[in-house]
Structure 1
Amino acid sequence: MKPLHTTVVSGVSAAIAASIGASAVYLAPIIVMLFMSMSSIGKNVWCEVYSDDNKAEM
């Protein structure tokens, strides 16, 4: 992981842990999987939108 990724995951995990009363260590893997799935879905949507635009222009 890059340092910025570690900082973001740690911060989000700590914030959520403080509000629900859980340990940030247990939440970190869940946060990582959530971010990975959100970025994968976002990339797929982005590619789909621009592939449709390219097909319409041709």
Structure 2
Amino acid sequence: MKEWLRVMDPSFKVGFFGSKKKKKELQDEHFTAYYELIKDRFEAEIRLYLLQRIKKRASA
């Protein structure tokens, strides 16, 4: 997460030549990785919650 925040900072620099394109590519890459991490975590939390609810209803 720290790396993603660092890359998204407007003052972040990649290099001198083609830096806008490189910066955009790097930001997209980090965003995709962070999005996948959050998505996986969210799906795991939802599965766990639903599993607990199903078990609770089955035992009641």
- Give me the TM-score of the superposition, normalised by structure 1: 0.60
Unaligned 5+ runs, structure 1: 1-11
Report the Cα offset of residue 30 of structure 1. 1.1
Unaligned 5+ runs, structure 2: 1-7, 55-60
Query: Could you say which structure has the higher helix fraction?
Result: 1
| CA distance in 1: counterparts of 2:23 and 2:35, whole angstroms | 18
Identity %: 7
Structure 1 runs of 4+ off > 3 angstroms?
none
What's the C-alpha RMSD, in Å, of the aligned pairs? 2.0
Q: Which has the higher contact order (CA 8 A, sep 6+)?
A: 2
Which has the larger Rg?
Answer: 2
| CA distance in 1: counterparts of 2:25 and 2:10, whole angstroms | 12
| Equivalenced residues, count | 44
